[in-house]
Structure 1
Amino acid sequence: MYSRQRDGKCDKCATSPSLPLENYRYLFQSTDFPEWVKNTLIVSVVSTAISLGCSVLIGYALARLRFPGSTFLGVGIFLAYLVPPTLLFLPLAQVIATLGLYNTYWALILTYPTQLIPFASWLLMGYFRTIPKEIEESAMADGCSRLQILVRIVLPLSIPGLLSAGIFSFTLCWNEFLYALIFMSSGPMKNIPVGVVSDMIKADTLFWGSLMASAVLGSFPIAILYSFFVKHYVSGLTAGAVKG
């Protein structure tokens, strides 16, 4: 990506060298790239927060509470993650159209959790099971409620699992293309993947330099997340997968 950002406007066969700064200047002055970044960031952060909140409650309930059908429910939640997004497109499109949410942030904020919650719940359920029950039993003996145990004991001990689920969710939202193309792709409401494809690919003309420049800038947030939290991410995934 870094080497190709030196290319100028070109067709699918030829390239012409250009200064990288010209491609970045074109990106910020001739496109709505700053708006795409803002849209992608808002949708990714809010969707990740909603998904993590729901997944914590679901995962803890399946890991610690015993009720009829809990095992089958856990398997069902994981299998729901395996459903291809293309199969959910039609019913979700009808819901979005009925609510009048096309080309709004809520169109994606409400649809992304359908992909995020099943996997994050399954991952956190496995991670919660790695926490010794004796710690929670001691807290209950001291008069703590289930909610207090979850907030004050379980969640602080589950930081690696929460980071793993959060990074996974944020990455999926940041890179998602299909739902963003259908539900939020008009005018300045595009996200980065949709904006780059729609504004920098004109028929058989590819703006390679600006394409690669946008790819470099768009990958920064994800690269920063993984560089700082990669150890917690790997340990959280490993613990959740083994115990899940």
Structure 2
Amino acid sequence: MNNAIAIGRVRRTRRRRALRALFTIYLPVLPYVLFALFPLYFMLVTSLKSNAELYDVHSVPFWIAEGITASHYTLLSAETPFWDWFANSLIVSVTATAISVVLSVLAAYPLARLRFPGADSFGVAVFITYLVPPSLLFLPLSSVVNWLGLSDSLWSLVVTYPTFLVPFCTWLLMGYFRTVPKEIEECAMLDGCSRFQSMLRILLPAAVPGLICAALFAFTLSWNEFLYALVFVSPAELKTMTVGVFSELIRGDIYYWGSLMAGACIGSIPIVIAYVLFLDYYVSGLTSGAIK
């Protein structure tokens, strides 16, 4: 009898906790989740609709009423060099991200660990550089790109993207490096390591979340960048995905909405995969750097 009463109490307690969680956590968060996911849902629905339904003013835009079609994805693959654009975006984003993270580590380490006159001011100046709008920088950068002979090549993007990736990544890594106790590096140097070796073998393995956070940030900005890719690269086969989809699927006042949304859905896949795989590291690296 006592056991039955105890079991009943446990069940009632669990139900109360479940109801409390439902009304205090899940239901309040639900509107924000729906708001965040709605653009992805709308892109997917639009990309799977037929043209007849897309341009029917009486159809409801939020669901598919006349059947699913893959014709917009077929148009992307068969009638445009979409996968060349996809590969170009991937090459540029990965290369620019790798270069930017390496440069940011080399810049953030002395600013976070060494003490020299003007270190704090220099760190703030690095971050302020990130706040300069790219629309003000592409004119002088175009002169640099022409001088280097990199016009109309993917290298022009690889060279220019770090101008806005390195400052913020440096600021982010500075905050994260300061969360790692410097005593472990001092112990390594007492055991014979140089400062560079202590950074490479001690600090960087401990700062993996911060590095992944910086890499995700840099990759996202590189993948979505539009202005530099539009200005510095003219050949159709060398365009990145953001510029290629825009230039080929918007012709005057004609918008190929189905194919545009199909390109947006495919283009969002690498970003989604990256954040799903490294979300915990991203949150850890971002919050640790911000708190410090």
Mark yes or no: TM-score above 0.5.
yes
Give the 5 Å matches for 1:1-244. 1-9=43-51, 14=56, 19-243=68-292
Q: CA deviation at 1:110?
A: 0.5
Q: Where does structure 1 differ by over 2 angstroms across 4 or more consecutive aligned residues?
A: 6-10, 12-20
Cα deviations by residue, 1:22-70 (Å, 9 ceiling, x for unpaired): 1111110100101001100110011001000000011111011111211
Q: Return the alpha-carbon distance in structure 2 between the equivalents of residues 13 and 203 of structure 1.
A: 17
Structure 2: stretches of 5+ with no match in the other structure: 1-42, 60-65
Paired amino acid for 2:272: A
Q: Return the alpha-carbon distance in structure 2 between the equivalents of residues 147 and 65 of structure 1.
A: 12
Q: CA deviation at 1:100?
A: 2.1
TM-score, with length taken from structure 1? 0.95
* Contact kept in structure 1, 2:236 and 2:244, CA below 8 Å: no
Q: Return the alpha-carbon distance in structure 1 between the equivalents of residues 110 and 217 of structure 2.
A: 21
Q: What value does the CA root-mean-square deviation take over the aligned residues? A: 1.8
Q: Return the alpha-carbon distance in structure 1 between the equivalents of residues 201 and 146 of structure 2.
A: 41
Number of residue pairs the alignment of both structures matches: 243
Larger Rg computed on CA atoms:
2
TM-score, with length taken from structure 2? 0.80
Higher relative contact order (CA 8 A, sep 6+): 1
Structure 1: stretches of 5+ with no match in the other structure: none
Paired amino acid for 1:5: S
Percent same amino acid at aligned positions? 54
Q: Return the alpha-carbon distance in structure 1 between the equivalents of residues 216 and 287 of structure 2.
A: 14
SS in 2 for 1:216: helix
* Contact kept in structure 2, 1:185 and 1:194, CA below 8 Å: no
Q: Return the alpha-carbon distance in structure 2 between the equivalents of residues 202 and 90 of structure 1.
A: 26
Q: Return the alpha-carbon distance in structure 1 between the equivalents of residues 239 and 121 of structure 2.
A: 39
Paired amino acid for 1:3: V
Paired amino acid for 2:46: R
Q: Return the alpha-carbon distance in structure 2 between the equivalents of residues 216 and 76 of structure 1.
A: 37
